[in-house]
Amino acid sequence: MPAYDFGCSQCGNGFEVKMSIAAKESDTAIECPQCGSVNTRHVYRPAGFIMSRNAEPACPQNVGGACCGGHAGCECH
């Protein structure tokens, strides 16, 4: 089950809630565990990624799968 980050507009508390995607999309009121307020909002966080130790970094100029045009050290050309 996915976990979503929420923030309380009343007390400023940040918290995580595990719920189904269907429950998230239903706009069900989420209660702050600290103050009990339902004046909460979903907080979007940037996605992270994990790179293995042996992997070489991707070309920083290679965006959207397009070749960078010969950037030094790039494997896409």
State the pLDDT at residue 38. 95
Nearest Cα residue to 42 out of 55, 28, 53, 56: 28
Given this model, what pLDDT does residue 44 score? Answer: 87
The total of other beta-carbon atoms located within 10 Å of residue 53's CB is 4
- Residue at 28 is within a domain: yes
Could you list the residue range(s) of the whole structural domain that residue 15 is in?
3-42
Q: How many domains does the chain have?
A: 1
Q: Is residue 13 part of a domain?
A: yes
Residue 26 in domain: yes
Does 25 fall in a domain?
yes
* Residue 34: closest CA among 59, 9, 54, 53: 9
**pTM score of the predicted model:** 0.56
pLDDT tens by residue, the chain, 77 residues? 899 999 999 999 999 999 998 988 888 899 999 999 999 999 987 776 666 666 555 555 555 555 555 555 555 54
